């Protein structure tokens, strides 16, 4: 049963299976295990970024294509939902229409970029995605009448997904059963389905062909595979899933702006999540996104307490001051890439 | 006996790299069920001629015709679909994938299943079985689970032949299939090619330097020299001709020694 859900792609390492199970349980029961607004928000963002990183892995790890437009597709999904919710009002119809529209636009744009630039060298595709993504970010901030510019859009979501909506009186395990909880599970199950869907795709005949294209595109052509079409299809699929992740984010945080969806910083984050977790494994995206979001959220807190604890010592408090968190995050990445060149998943699998 | 139209024809096929004419107006027809050896010194244009036929390079002028269809302007996968199979001089496999997966990918391409996104690849048992059947033929079944990059050179060459057997094309092109192999491994490859040849539907083009190999396999020899076709005919005849003695064999004795020392550093046009 589990094997079927995973499309036969098992973790192939006890430790990895354990870590993945832990993450799954942690996310599935997050509202009960880690009560509180901040931790629930962290859990939801982990779900969303797992999907986002996994869809990027389809491109980077499985197809060997480097794209800098992944956040653009993520943003298109988010803005689609956000625009529909703010113009049509907080209804499920608006969510469905906005999500479908955003995803379709993302897919169409990916198709155009793919057909235009994947024929040529891989580096050309990377440059084109960079250019298009930058242009798109400028466009969004310029069209402030529509998109709210740099301020972004704030909107309401359907009442059934808000904290004011009570499914029942009282609490279960000390947790209110309200619309916010419903919203979390909407995010969680959507993410789960999307991730398992991607896992199926990479284990399909198509997914196997992508690996062949990544390994040796020249030879893949010689045995009859039309490499451009495989790369383009992977790009479209990855863009569509990124847009769906964007829609989930738009619903969850009830705000959509350039900083939360389009920024180059997020693009780099996704890249690091996939590389640290392990490219071409899908599970790497789970590990990478979880580690990354946790570090991003809690490293500063951790460092603040370290600063307190070491107050009496010279120099050390300075080094562990919360303002230095980016420095430490960077160090962690360099170390992890150095010690786990195949990512955490590659490392765990080679141990056995 | 009715004369069959040739399967593959090249007419005045030419390509230049800058000022250098690597293949110069080569016209040649290949009949069904024959094995043609292509010989010539290093840099004669043999690999380039292959690249023009299988589509890795586009002709500067001239045409390539397969079963009466002009395929000169077609891309590599389109030519593959029409029955041109190409094995490479330099090992050219999927290095991080397993031996089984390399062959399975060929079988999958043949079955036109590459765009199946939602079924599980491991559920298509018939494709896996076919791949394993071919691997057994080339004695690589025991290594099926190894990544190709871990395979010794000789086994990689066998795998290259296995890919051709799995592809089962009408026209098979082998570019120095035994290059760099140890002496005791060579007969395995030759037996495999001989078996392919016994299937009378196939047309085989073989670039090879070992004269004894050519003598035992070839129905015909063509000689390329500086990109030009300089001799064509019966093996015994061509090998005796002065132009081969001089241009290719140097002053090698008649008893079928190997060609003069050749370097392994030839380039395959890579995309
Ligand atoms: N892609 C290329 N670009 C430039 N020159 C090439 C290229 N491919 C082959 N050549 C040149 O064409 C000539 C024929 O090469 P090749 O076909 O590899 O010879 P052979 O296979 O007979 O040893 C050589 O002089 C080689 O340097
Ligand atoms: Mg050559």
What integer pLDDT is reported at residue B213 of this predicted model?
86
Whole-angstrom distance, CA of residue B151 vs CA of residue B45: 30
Q: What is the pLDDT of residues B193-249, one digit of tens each?
A: 999 998 888 999 999 988 888 888 999 999 999 999 999 999 888 888 877 776 555
What integer pLDDT is reported at residue A111 of this predicted model?
97
Q: What is the CA radius of gyration of chain A?
A: 21
Whole-angstrom distance, CA of residue A52 vs CA of residue A244: 9
The number of beta carbons lying within 10 Å of the beta carbon of residue A245 is: 30
What integer pLDDT is reported at residue A240 of this predicted model?
98
What integer pLDDT is reported at residue B90 of this predicted model?
84
Whole-angstrom distance, CA of residue B203 vs CA of residue B169: 9
Distance from CA of B252 to the nearest CA of A (A): 36
* Lookup: tokens for B103: 């062959």
| Residue of the CA atom closest to atom 18 of ligand 1 | B47
Model pTM greater than 0.80? yes
* Lookup: tokens for A304: 């603040």
| CB nearest to B270's CB, from A7, A209, A218 | A218
Residues of chain A with pLDDT under 70: 352
Name every chain B residue with its beta carbon within 8 A of the beta carbon of A208: 101, 104-105, 108, 121
Instruction: Classify the C-alpha dihedral A198-A204-A206-A208 as positive or negative.
Output: positive
Superfamily of domain B1-83+170-271: P-loop containing nucleotide triphosphate hydrolases (3.40.50.300)
Name every chain A residue with its beta carbon within 8 A of the beta carbon of B101: 208
- How many domains does the structure of chain A reveal? 1
Contact by Cβ (8 Å): A214, A62 = yes
What integer pLDDT is reported at residue B252 of this predicted model?
44
What integer pLDDT is reported at residue B32 of this predicted model?
94
Residues of chain B with pLDDT under 50: 1, 251-271
Question: Whole domain around residue A117: which residue ranges?
Answer: 2-351
Whole-angstrom distance, CA of residue A301 vs CA of residue A253: 22
CATH number of the domain bearing residue A62: 1.10.3470
- Kindly give, in sequence order, each residue whose CB lies less than 8 Å from that of residue A84, ignoring residues fewer than 6 positions away: A94, A95, A97, A98, A99, A101
Residues touching ligand 1 (Cβ under 6 Å) are: B 17, 22, 40, 42-48, 266-267, 269
Whole-angstrom distance, CA of residue A252 vs CA of residue A352: 38
What integer pLDDT is reported at residue B249 of this predicted model?
56
E strand or H helix at B175, and its extent?
Answer: strand B171-175
How does strand B69-70 pair with strand B61-66? antiparallel
What integer pLDDT is reported at residue A341 of this predicted model?
84
Check if the interface score ipTM surpasses 0.85: yes
Hey, what long-range contacts does A85-94 have (CB within 8 A, 24 or more apart)? Answer: A85/A155, A85/A156, A85/A157, A85/A250, A86/A153, A86/A155, A89/A156, A90/A155, A90/A156, A90/A157, A90/A158, A90/A159, A91/A158, A92/A158, A92/A160
Per DSSP, helices labelled H in B138-260 are: 153-167, 186-198, 211-217, 235-240, 242-247
What integer pLDDT is reported at residue B3 of this predicted model?
66
**In this structure, what DSSP letter does residue B182 have?**
-
User: Which is nearest to A295 in space by CA: A261, A336, A264?
Assistant: A336
What integer pLDDT is reported at residue A174 of this predicted model?
76
What integer pLDDT is reported at residue B266 of this predicted model?
35
Cβ-defined contact of B117 to A215 (cutoff 8 Å): no
Cα distances (angstroms) measured from residue A100 to each of A95, A104, A244, B100: 8, 6, 8, 40
What integer pLDDT is reported at residue B247 of this predicted model?
58
Quote the distance between the C-alpha of residue B66 and its chain's center.
16
């Amino acid at each position: 049963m589990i094997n079927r859900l995973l499309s036969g792609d098992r973790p192939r390492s006890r430790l990895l299976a354990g870590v993945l199970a832990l993450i799954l349980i942690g996310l599935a029961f997050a509202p009960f295990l880690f009560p509180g607004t901040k931790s629930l928000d962290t859990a939801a963002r982990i779900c969303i970024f797992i999907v986002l990183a996994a869809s990027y892995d389809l491109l980077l790890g499985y197809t060997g294509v480097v794209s800098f437009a992944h956040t653009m597709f993520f943003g298109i999904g988010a803005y689609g939902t956000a625009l529909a919710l703010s113009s049509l009002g907080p209804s499920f119809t608006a969510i469905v229409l906005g999500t479908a529209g955003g995803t379709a636009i993302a897919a169409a744009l990916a198709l155009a970029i793919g057909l235009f630039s994947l024929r040529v060298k891989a580096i050309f595709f990377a440059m084109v995605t960079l250019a298009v993504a930058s242009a798109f970010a400028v466009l969004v901030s310029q069209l402030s009448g529509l998109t709210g510019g740099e301020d972004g859009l704030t909107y309401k979501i359907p009442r059934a997904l808000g904290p004011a909506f009570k499914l029942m009186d009282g609490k279960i395990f000390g947790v209110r059963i309200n619309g916010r909880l419903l919203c979390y599970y909407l995010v969680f199950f959507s993410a789960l389905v999307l991730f398992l869907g991607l896992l199926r795709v990479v284990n399909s005949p198509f997914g196997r062909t992508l690996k062949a294209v990544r390994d040796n595109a020249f030879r893949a052509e010689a045995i009859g595979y039309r490499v451009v079409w495989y790369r383009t299809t992977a790009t479209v699929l990855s863009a569509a899933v990124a847009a769906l992740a964007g829609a989930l984010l738009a619903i969850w945080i009830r705000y959509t702006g350039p900083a939360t969806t389009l920024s180059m910083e997020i693009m780099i984050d996704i890249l690091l999540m996939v590389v640290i977790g392990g490219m071409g494994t899908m599970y790497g995206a789970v590990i990478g996104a979880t580690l990354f979001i946790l570090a991003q959220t809690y490293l500063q807190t951790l460092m603040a307490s370290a600063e307190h604890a070491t107050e009496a010592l010279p120099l050390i408090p300075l080094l562990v001051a919360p303002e230095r968190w980016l420095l430490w995050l960077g160090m962690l990445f360099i170390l992890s890439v150095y010690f786990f060149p195949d990512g955490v998943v590659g490392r765990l699998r080679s141990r056995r | 006996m009715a004369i069959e139209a040739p399967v593959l024809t090249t007419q005045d096929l030419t390509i230049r790299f800058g000022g250098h004419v690597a293949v110069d107006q080569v016209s040649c027809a290949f009949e069904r069920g024959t094995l043609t050896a292509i010989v010539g010194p290093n840099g004669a244009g043999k690999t380039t001629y292959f690249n023009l036929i299988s589509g890795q390079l586009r002709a500067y002028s001239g045409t390539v015709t397969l079963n009466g269809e002009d395929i000169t302007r077609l891309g590599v996968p389109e030519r593959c679909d029409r029955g041109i199979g190409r094995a490479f001089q330099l090992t050219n496999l999927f290095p991080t994938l397993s031996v089984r997966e390399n062959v399975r990918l060929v079988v999958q391409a043949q079955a036109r299943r590459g765009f199946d996104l939602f079924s599980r690849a491991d559920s298509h048992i018939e494709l896996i079985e076919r791949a394993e059947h071919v691997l057994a033929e080339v004695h690589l079944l025991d290594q099926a689970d190894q990544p190709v990059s871990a395979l010794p050179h000789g086994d990689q060459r066998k795998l290259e032949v296995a890919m051709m057997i799995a592809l089962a094309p009408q026209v098979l092109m082998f570019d120095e299939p035994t290059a760099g192999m140890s002496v005791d491994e060579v007969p395995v490859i030759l037996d495999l090619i001989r078996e392919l040849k016994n299937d009378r539907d196939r047309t085989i083009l073989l670039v090879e330097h070992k004269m004894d190999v050519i003598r035992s396999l070839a129905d015909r020899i063509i000689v390329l020299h500086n990109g030009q076709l300089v001799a064509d005919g019966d093996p015994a005849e061509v090998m005796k001709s002065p132009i081969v003695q001089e241009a290719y064999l140097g002053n090698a004795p008649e008893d079928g020694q190997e060609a003069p020392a050749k370097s392994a550093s030839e380039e395959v046009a890579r995309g």
